[in-house]
Structure formats: C-alpha cells, structure tokens
Amino acid sequence: MADELHGRRVAILATDGVEQVEYEQPREAVERAGAQATLISTHDGEIQAMNHDTEKGDRFAVEAQVADVHPGDYDALILPGGTCNPDRLRMNTSAVSFVRTFVESGKPVAAICHGPWMLVEADVVRGRTLTSWPSVRTDIRNAGGNVVDQEVVTDNGLVTSRKPDDLPAFCAKVVEEFAEGRHPVAQPSS
C-alpha cells in the first residue's frame, strides 16, 4: 500500500562504508509506503557507500547528524549493514545512545547484515531473537541474544535479516512492522 506509512518519520543511521543496497532498498520501501526517511550520520556532508565491502559505490548526502537529533523525532529506525559502517558507528557515543533509546522506547527497529552490531553495542539484544551476517552471531550470543539463521526474523518490533539476498523479505517485513508502530517494551531476562 502506498499510504501504509503515511506521516511516519523513519531514521536511517549510517556512515561511510554502508552497504549501498542495504541503504537504498529499505529507504525506497519505506518511502514508497509513504514514510519520510532521513539519512542520519556521525558527520555532515556525504557518506561513501560500498558494494560488497570492497568496491566504492555512490555517495549519499547526510540529512542530519546524530548528535543533533533526538529519537523522539522519529517513528522507526533502519540500521543498514556493510562491515565498516556499524563498526564506525559503534565508536560514536551519540549513535549508540540513539539506537539504545529507540529500542528501549519500543519503537520498531530494523537491522540487516552487520547492522545488528549496533544493537549489540547498545546492549539491547539480551533475551531477543535475531539474525545477522554469520560473523556477527557470536557477538549477539555473547550479548545475551538468541540467534537463528533465517531470511527475516521479527521479535517484538525488532526486524533483522542476514544479507543483501534477504532484502525483499526484509523490506516487506520492515514496512509491516513500521506500520504497526510502537510495541510493548521488552524486558530483558536475567
């Protein structure tokens, strides 16, 4: 539906090294559904996207800096992958805090491929079930999360997928979960 997300504001948190298709396709999906998407990064100017982590892709204009925005201004969050992207983001305290606040508020969050590294860094995976790129799975387990190897996994508003091949299922589930809106806040198990 073209208006499924009408009036919703979606934050996309990414920086240099983002996997281009994991940024572009989810953004297109939420915008087609009527949402207003904003590329948020750790710096102004542009970010350099990558294809398969090794080849430079396009550059994308940063629309807001994470230090200048508040999670309350957005209804949902997308965390694209690319190996370098979340690795750089998790070194930025404003980015980590932004992600933590989103998850703790019960707003829907979607992360693909290496994107769940930000969820680990924000310490919000304990007791949650998710998936990711294989090299991130040990980190998820060590942070108390449950890992499954599936195309797309949804856990109380948290949507995760493994890799670019999963994008069709990921994007469809992202629109569905974002349309549902805020979910009850998950309490971590002890």
Residues known to be catalytic? 113-114
CB 32 within 8 A of CB 2: yes
Q: Give dist(CA 87, CA 82) in Å, integer.
A: 9
CB 10 within 8 A of CB 74: yes
What CA–CA distances, in Å, run from 19 to 8, 36, 60, 112, 174?
Answer: 24, 21, 12, 10, 17
- If you write DSSP's letter for every residue of 71-93 in order, what string do you get? GGG-SEEEE---SHHHHHHTT-H
Hey, is 170 helix, strand or coil?
helix
Q: Give dist(CA 25, CA 167) in Å, integer.
A: 7
Compute the half-sphere exposure of residue 12: CA atoms within 13 Å on the CB side of its CA: 30
Residues 53-74 as b or e (16 or more Cβ within 10 Å = b): eeeebeebebebebeebebeeb
